[in-house]
Every structure is written in structure tokens, then in C-alpha cells.
Amino acid sequence: MKKILLFLMCNAIIIMAYSQTQCTPNSLYQDSTYKIWPDTLVGLPWATQGVPYSAVLDIKTPATLIEASGGDSSLTTIDTLGQTFYIGGWPVDSMSLVSVSGLPSGLNFGCYISNCVLPGDFLSCAWVEGVVDAGVADGIYPIEILVDVFTHGDISYQPSPILPPIIVPVETSLYEALGSYEEVPGYKIVVSQGGQTSLYYEKNNSSYVLKQNYPNPFNEYFNVEFFAPQKEEILFSITDVLGKVLYYEYINTNIGLNKVSLNHNFKGGMYFYSITNENISITKRMIVSE
């Protein structure tokens, strides 16, 4: 009986520990404006079937509707009562997660605040964790994230030039006003049984070429060269075999050959380096000697 009770107590402790918050808001972003970290260029770590997976998203919610719209004033006007009203200065009362879909089977999404309703101008975080099921096929799994934004403000309505304006208080949400939710686009999880192998996926890679690093293997210093068809900003990143981002930098490319030279003291083992923009992501493997 004592063994049974001990077993039940241990299980209860494990369940309680697992149910606790899986992330802590990063105070580094406290004074930032509306953003999610990592952004879609850095992206989420890759996943492998049968291997525990964990990723954290830091979130700073917008303070006003114009901030929530990314500065697009065309999205912060409403037509009502025969007039057009600008509401970009209205506060974001809260931002509510409506749904998360597209995660590979076995992974779950959770929020620092359990109901996933965040006040405006608020620092929080969310997580993706679990173990990808063995039957999940290798591939790219786009994640659809839908949120609703709640706000309030006053509309000054003047029914006639000879009458004083009427102040109309309004409480509404994005869905109530437009009939649709806001989508957070661009996030995806790549599932690969063998980890991040060379040139795993592309949308349009007819002009980009990523060369093998040299020397390879290396101990401390190494170089990476790649060809770019145009001048633009790309992301160069290095990850471990579990997809954890160890290093990244944004590079303004030149047309033609580009070179990255780095000096990092990685532990001996296998790593992956990538170049990424909105259209392509190319990855190759490199070895760090002991």
C-alpha cells in the first residue's frame, strides 16, 4: 500500500510540475513595441519524430490600434453613421488567441496566461512543446495563428451642421467590426527525421547557391560563401542538431558572391548553417572537431 501511495504521489507531483508555466516573459523586450520573437525569418526550431521538442515565443502586445495594424492607417478607419472615422489612437484593451492550427501531431501550444487573453501593451510569452508522433511525415507544417483585438473609444457624430455633435461610446473587436480575425502569418515547423540536412526546402531557389563551409571540419575559425541574385537583407543562422538557434545575424547581400567569416567556440559535433529570406531557406551541415 505504501508503494502504491508513493507511486500516486510521484505521479501527482509530475503532473503538477508539468502543468506549471512553461515559459517566463523575457524582460529584455519590456520597452519594445508590438512584436513576436523569434520573428518569422529566424523561425521556430526544426522537429524530429520521437525527439522532445520545445520552443518559446516572446510576445509584446500592441498599445494602440495603429500599432496593431503595423502603421497602416487604412486598417484603422471605420465607416458608420454615414461618416468615416479614424480610430488608430484607440487603445488595445486585450488581444485574444482564437486558434492555433497546423502543428505536427504530438505538439501542443500554450500561453503564459492560461486563457491566452493578453492586455494591450503587455509582455508575455507562449510555447510549443511535445514529441512529434512517429507517423508524422517529413515536411513543412505551416502554423495558422488567429487572434482577435478588443478596443474601445468615442465617436463624435454630428447629425446636422446646426446641431451639436453627439459623442457615441463604442466597445468592439476586430471580428465584430470586420467579420474576420487577424492572422499572424509566416510561422512554420519543419519536421525532418534526419535533422536539418542540406537544401531541405525551397520556394524558389533558381539563383541562390549556398556553398560548403571551409575548413570543414573546423575548430574555431570558418568561412561560408553563397551566391545571391540581388541586393537584399537575408538571415544567416547556425543551429544544433535539435534545431536550437545558436547564432544568427542579418546580412545585406551583394549581387554575386558573398562571404561570412566567423570565430566561435562551439563544442565538438554536427551543426547546421542556413541562409533565409521570405522566399528561400537553404541549409547545409558542418562539423566542429574536438
pLDDT at 12: 38
pLDDT at 1: 38
pLDDT at 194: 54
pLDDT at 171: 92
pTM above 0.95, yes or no: no
d(CA 25, CA 119): 14
Say if residues 226 and 211 touch (Cβ distance below 8 Å). yes
Contacts of 22 (CB under 8 A, 6+ apart): 54, 56, 110, 127, 129
DSSP element (H, E) containing 153: strand 144-157
- Of 146, 195, 182, 188, the C-alpha closest to 276 is 188
Residue 129, judged by CB atoms within 10 A of its CB (0-12, 13-18, 19+), counts as middle
Say if residues 199 and 282 touch (Cβ distance below 8 Å). yes
- Ranges of residues in the chain whose predicted pLDDT is under 50: 1-21, 195-206
DSSP element (H, E) containing 104: none
In one-letter notation, the amino acid at residue 225 is E
